[in-house]
Amino acid sequence: MVKVIRTINELTNITNQLKQANETIGFVPTMGYLHEGHTTLMEECKKYADTLIVSIFVNPLQFGPNEDFERYPRDEKRDQTIAMEHDVDYLFMPSVDEMYPGNDIITLHVTDRVDVLCGKSRPNHFDGVVTVLTKLFHLTRADYVCFGLKDAQQVAVVKGLIDSFNFTLKIIAVPTVREMDGLAKSSRNVYLSDKERHEATYLFKALKEAKQLMIDGEKNPVMIKEKVKKYIKHHTNGEIDYVDILTFPSLDTVETIDQQIIIAVAVQFTKARLIDNIIVDHSGTVPNAII
């Protein structure tokens, strides 16, 4: 039976008891409206840890002024049921006031890996991400934390946070969970019209086209990006935010593909902005060690 926790005091009391009992703690941070992508992270985390903590917190700090914080999908009862079905031990569901009770005198600012991909058009987004994660890492005292590679930039930034602040927890990057037709699972998929839902499948198909170009010997990132853009424009009515190829996890620009890279896309549909990516080595194959 999952135990729901609402306050920081209760959470810290529990994690202190777990540590005194020498139990390892796995942690999956989410913003709720749980789907198969989240539950895959839960199942993966349970392979490593004795106890699993999942947080559900729609973090206002990582939303820009024109983004969808207020209408971000929420369903607490449904989330609790899903957590129970997947044997989550503790579900941390704090309020905004609980997490941010007053004016913090210290803020975190990410200086690298954020001026590309989603971070380029969402200033301060990752500052909000690392701020809430720093709090949650301390509160949960996690030994392992699981993130999905659908948001690979977030994985890269969190890896930087862990390394920069010497957190002792280990990050586990889990491959993107997809629908049968290849669409990456996302809470925002509910905002797609039927027509857009069909078109959205072409994001992953475009990425597979890019991968095949690399397998066939193409090493010019500019050429590959142009072909991906043309493919998406031909098959969808969405507006391309970006198509990019960068080193991973450092997220540096690349002139010729000779190392592990990420091919990433973002497309704005009427009511949903979708992202997707693949991470491959220089030959176009999926590497064993990603981060």
Is 38 labelled as part of a ligand binding site? yes
Is 93 labelled as part of a ligand binding site? no
Separation of alpha carbons 113 and 152, rounded Å: 11
Is 153 labelled as part of a ligand binding site? no
Query: Are 155 and 133 in contact, with CB atoms under 8 Å apart?
Result: no
Is 250 labelled as part of a ligand binding site? no
Is position 125 annotated as part of the catalytic site? Answer: no
Is 202 labelled as part of a ligand binding site? no
Is 37 labelled as part of a ligand binding site? yes
Is 234 labelled as part of a ligand binding site? no
| Catalytic entry in 38, 86, 125, 138 | 38
Query: Are 243 and 228 in contact, with CB atoms under 8 Å apart?
Result: yes
Could you tell me which residues are beta bridge partners of residue 274?
267
Is 102 labelled as part of a ligand binding site? no
Is 47 labelled as part of a ligand binding site? no
Is 188 labelled as part of a ligand binding site? yes
Separation of alpha carbons 49 and 135, rounded Å: 20
Is 154 labelled as part of a ligand binding site? yes
- How many Cα atoms within 13 Å fall on the side-chain side of residue 195? 7
Active site residues: 38
Show binding-site residues. Answer: 31-38, 62, 148-151, 154, 177, 185-188
Show binding-site residues for beta-alanine. Answer: 62
